[in-house]
Amino acid sequence: MVGIFGGSFDPIHHGHLIVARVAAELLGLAEVRFVPAREQPFKVGKHAAAAGHRAAMVEAAIAGAAGFTLDPTELERPGASYTVDTLRGIRDREPGVDLVLLVGADAAADFPKWREAEAVARLARVVVFGRPGADRVTLPAAWRTIDVPAVEISATEIRQRVRERRPIRYWVPDAVAEYVAAHGLYQDGEG
């Protein structure tokens, strides 16, 4: 089984990486593919860093991590990034691959609003992850629900720290912090 973990990753942080590792272990995934969105439909015009920078940060974060890869599917397709299109693209390239879509409880709450949500559930096993002790999201399309460690890190908080010239070390892998600094990301603007 191959895990598909999509998102803005604006920037990728330790919370994302812990979720991916725990999901891989609990579900017995052979691989977790990080799929940065070119533009998430629910965040149109709100990405703080360009898609290329977000992909480069994912690559830096997962470098050397066994079983973690970057999947550029959504970056190569113009326009908004819809999960159903991504899953169809992967299936077309790799017929027979057993896909597991990793979805956070917050995104699962919006699942009925996703483009062709029923098709998403047919193309991949949907696994909802949440925090221990938090309210569980009931998603009929879900194959499984798993608990992941509660890590109180958000990309919004990281971007705010950068704007305030505060360190982001320990919030993100060192390679990501170095990339953010080298490229002057998140220093101005909103997000």
- Structure confidence by residue, pLDDT tens digits, 26-63: 999 999 999 999 987 766 666 789 999 999 999 999 99
> What pLDDT, on a 0 to 100 scale, did the predictor assign at position 43?
66
Mean per-residue pLDDT of the chain: 92
Give residue limits of the domains in the chain.
Answer: 2-183
Q: Identify whether the C-beta of residue 7 lies closer than 8 Å to the C-beta of residue 105.
A: no
- Asked whether the predicted pLDDT for residue 190 surpasses 70, the reply is no
pLDDT band at 130 (very low <50, low <70, confident <90, very high): confident
Decide which of 20 and 39 is more confident: 20
Task: Say how many Å lie between the first and final Cα of the chain, rounded.
Answer: 35
> What pLDDT, on a 0 to 100 scale, did the predictor assign at position 188?
81
> What pLDDT, on a 0 to 100 scale, did the predictor assign at position 45?
63
- Asked whether the predicted pLDDT for residue 189 surpasses 70, the reply is no
- Asked whether the predicted pLDDT for residue 83 surpasses 60, the reply is yes
Contacts 24+ apart (CB under 8 A), 103-109: 103/127, 103/128, 103/129, 103/139, 103/142, 104/19, 104/128, 104/129, 104/130, 105/129, 105/130, 105/131, 105/134, 105/135, 105/136, 105/137, 108/137, 108/139, 108/142, 109/137
> What pLDDT, on a 0 to 100 scale, did the predictor assign at position 138?
79
Decide which of 158 and 106 is more confident: 158
- Asked whether the predicted pLDDT for residue 84 surpasses 70, the reply is yes
What CATH fold (topology level) applies to the domain 2-183?
Answer: Rossmann fold (3.40.50)
